[in-house]
Amino acid sequence: MKPQFLISAVTAGSGKTILAMGLSRALQKRGLKIQTYKAGPDFLDPQLLSLSAGCESVNLDTWMSSHTHVQHLYNKYGEKADVCITEGVAALFDGYRRMQGSSAEMAKLLNLPIILLINARMAGYSTAPIIYGFKHFCSGVRIAGVIFNQVSSAAHFMHLREACADAGVDCLGYIPSSEIFKLPSKHTSWTQATRQQMDEQVNQIAKLIESHIDLDRILNRCNRSFPCQYTLPYHSDAEFEDQIIPSKKIRIAIAKDSAFNFTYRENIARLNQIGNITYFSPVHGHELPEADLVYLPGGYIELFARQLHRRKSMMESIKEYAENGGRILAEGGGASYLGQTPTAREGGTAYAMCDIFPIHTTIASLSRPRSGYRKLSIASNEWKGYEFRYTSVIPDNSEKSFTSPIITNLKGNETIMPLHRYKNTIASQTHWYWGDKDLFKLWE
C-alpha cells in the first residue's frame, strides 16, 4: 500500500503542473521519496517534475506504447517510492480520440484516484454542477477530491467549499492567486541558471501548498495497493522479449546539454541495456566520443545556434562519422543540427551547422508550436512518436542523395515532415519512442 493519485483538471491550462510540482516538493520535504509520472508525450513538464521531486520523471503514453507497457513502467519506477504522483494530460476526459489517450483512461488503467483541479478565478458556487458532472460522467473514474486554483480570498474559498459539499466530493484545499505561479515559456533553454531559478520557485509554491492544502488527507484518501494489476489483453513486449541484447555492449554517445534534452526516460534505459553510454555536449565539447551509435535528441538548438556554430571541430567530427557510415539517430533539434542553417529568430543570422542534410530551420511566425502524434512504417516495423517544434523546416534544392520515408499523423494522413536518411544517419522532426522496441530495426 502507498499513496498514489493522478492530478487532472476541468480544463487545460488550469495549473496541473504547478500543483504537481508543489505537492512533490512539499511531500519530499517530509522525507518521502516521490516518483512522478507525466501522462502523454510532453518533454517539458517531466523536467519540471523531475526538478521538484528530486527523481527523474517517467512518461506514460497509451498511444505510443501498449497498455501493458504503461502498467509495466508504472510498477517498475514506482516500486521504491513512498508516493506516486501522475500529472495528467489536457483536461480529464480529453484524449486524441474522445477518451482514448486521456487522463481518465490513464487513471482507469492504473487504478488511480483523481485529484481534480479547478481554476476558480472567475467562478464560485457554479462549480458545483461541474464537479457533480465530472464525478458521475464515467463510472470507472473516481474523484478523490477537488483542489481550487487562483482563489482570491477566504470568502471566495467558502463558496467553493460549499459547492464541493453539495456535489458530494471532498474539498482538499486551494491555491491562492499569486505571481510566483507564473512558469517560464515552454520555448526556454534549460540552463543551470534557469534550473536554480525554478528550484527556488518550486520551494515558494510548496510553502503556499503546505498552508492551504490538506496533505495528510490526500495521503490517506489516496492510499492504495501497489503494484497495479495488469489488465487484459496482456502484451509480452513489456518483458522485452523481442530485444536483441548483444553479447558485447556497444558504445553509445548521447548529446546532453541545454540544447539537447528532449528524451524519454525509458528510451535511455533501453539504450543502457545494450550499450555503455557516454554523454557529450555539442554546445561545450570539441569532438564526438568514440561510438557505435550516436543519439542526438531534440531540444531548442535555435537558442544556442551561435554557440553550436563556434564548435566547428565538433560538427566536423560528427559529419565525418556520418560519412564513414556510423549510425546516428537525430530527432527534432538534433535533426536541425545535422542540417545547414538554423536561425534563432525571423530575419536573424543563419549559422552553419553540420550540413549532412539539405534543410534549413527558422523560427516560425506562429506563436503556438507545431505538434502531434506521428507514425512510421519501415520494413514491417511500426514506429510511433511525437512531433513538437517552434521552427519551420525549409528543404534546400540539393543533388545530395537521401531517402525520405513518409510519416503519417493520427488520421493516417501524410505529414509535411518525412524521415530523412543518408547512409546510416537517420533524422526527423519526430521524437520516437522505442521503450518497448528494438531500436536497431529502425536501420533495416
- DSSP collapsed to 3 states, the chain: CEEEEEEEECCCCCCHHHHHHHHHHHHHCCCCCEEEEEECCCCHHHHHHHHHHCCCCEEECCCCCCHHHHHHHHHHHHCCCCEEEEECCCCCCCCCECCECCHHHHHHHHCCCEEEEEECCCCCCCHHHHHHHHHHCCCCCCEEEEEEEEECCHHHHHHHHHHHHHHCCCEEEEEECCHHHCCCCCCCCCCHHHHHHHHHHHHHHHHHHHHHECHHHHHHHCEECCCCCCCCCCCHHHHCCCCCCCCCCEEEEEECCCCCCECCHHHHHHHHHHEEEEEECCCCCCCCCCCCEEEECECCHHHHHHHHHHCHHHHHHHHHHHHCCCEEEEECHHHHHCCCEEECCCCCCECCCCCCCCEEEEECCCCCCEEEEEEEEECCEEEEEEEEECEEEEECCCCCCCECCCCECCCCCECCCCCEEECCEEEECEEEECCCCCHHHHHC
> What CATH number did the domain enclosing 383 receive?
3.40.50.880
Residues 103, 78: one domain? yes
Residues 369, 252: one domain? yes
CA distances from residue 248 to 186, 244, 436, 443 in whole angstroms, order as listed = 40, 11, 21, 20
Residues 220, 245: one domain? no
pLDDT at 329: 98
Mean pLDDT, range 88-113, rounded to an integer = 97
Region of poorest pLDDT, from 144-153, 243-252, 374-383:
243-252
Mean pLDDT, range 132-146, rounded to an integer = 96
> What CATH number did the domain enclosing 117 receive?
3.40.50.300
Residues 132, 177: one domain? yes
Has residue 27 got a pLDDT over 90? yes
pLDDT interval class at 236 (50, 70, 90):
low
Task: In whole angstroms, give the CA distance from residue 33 to residue 20.
Answer: 14
Region of poorest pLDDT, from 98-112, 124-138, 235-249, 275-289:
235-249
Cβ count near 412 (within 10 Å): 7
- State how many domains the chain has: 2
Has residue 241 got a pLDDT over 50? no
Has residue 239 got a pLDDT over 80? no
Residues 320, 432: one domain? yes
pLDDT at 243: 54
Domain presence at residue 123? yes
pLDDT at 362: 85
Has residue 400 got a pLDDT over 70? no
Q: Degrees (nearest 5) of the Cα angle 234, 7, 210?
A: 140
Q: Within 13 Å and on the Cβ side, how many CA atoms surround 167?
A: 25
Mean pLDDT, range 410-415, rounded to an integer = 93
- How many whole angstroms from its chain centre is CA 197? 21
Mean pLDDT, range 339-359, rounded to an integer = 87
Report the DSSP pairing between strands 58-60 and 34-39: parallel
Residues 304, 249: one domain? yes
| Highest-confidence segment of 356-360, 395-399, 401-405 | 356-360
Has residue 44 got a pLDDT over 70? yes
Mean pLDDT of the chain: 92
Residues 251, 398: one domain? yes
Query: Residues of 356-381 as b/e, b for ≥16 C-beta within 10 angstroms?
Result: bbbbbbbbeeeeeebeebbbbeeeee
Map grid coordinates 462549480 to a residue. 127
Domain presence at residue 231? no
Domain presence at residue 205? yes
Task: In whole angstroms, give the CA distance from residue 21 to residue 348.
Answer: 36
Task: In whole angstroms, give the CA distance from residue 250 to residue 110.
Answer: 35
pLDDT at 401: 56
Cβ–Cβ < 8 Å for 201, 180: yes
Cβ within 8 Å of residue 278, ≥6 positions away: 251, 252, 253, 254, 289, 291
pLDDT at 242: 47
pLDDT at 217: 98
Cβ within 8 Å of residue 358, ≥6 positions away: 339, 340, 395, 396, 397, 398, 400
pLDDT interval class at 37 (50, 70, 90):
very high
Cβ–Cβ < 8 Å for 154, 145: no
pLDDT at 416: 87
**Percent of the chain surpassing pLDDT 70:** 95
Domain presence at residue 230? no
Q: Which domain holds residue 334?
A: 241-443
Cβ–Cβ < 8 Å for 332, 431: yes
Alpha-carbon torsion angle 285, 290, 292, 297, nearest 10: -10
pLDDT at 246: 64
The torsion angles phi and psi of 420, rounded to 5 degrees, stand at -105, 140
Domain presence at residue 234? no
How confident is the model over 215-234, as pLDDT tens digits? Answer: 999 999 999 999 999 987 77
Map grid coordinates 511500426 to a residue. 382
Mean pLDDT, range 143-163, rounded to an integer = 97
C-alpha cell at 45: 513538464
Mean pLDDT, range 288-317, rounded to an integer = 96
Domain presence at residue 232? no
Mean pLDDT, range 277-298, rounded to an integer = 97
Has residue 194 got a pLDDT over 90? no
Q: How far apart are the first and last CA of the chain?
A: 45
Residues 209, 66: one domain? yes
Residues 217, 245: one domain? no
Higher-confidence residue of 227 and 362: namely 227
pLDDT at 367: 62
Domain presence at residue 233? no
The torsion angles phi and psi of 74, rounded to 5 degrees, stand at -60, -45
Higher-confidence residue of 187 and 397: namely 187
Domain presence at residue 167? yes
Residues 274, 414: one domain? yes
Has residue 366 got a pLDDT over 90? no
Residues 202, 350: one domain? no
Residues 336, 422: one domain? yes
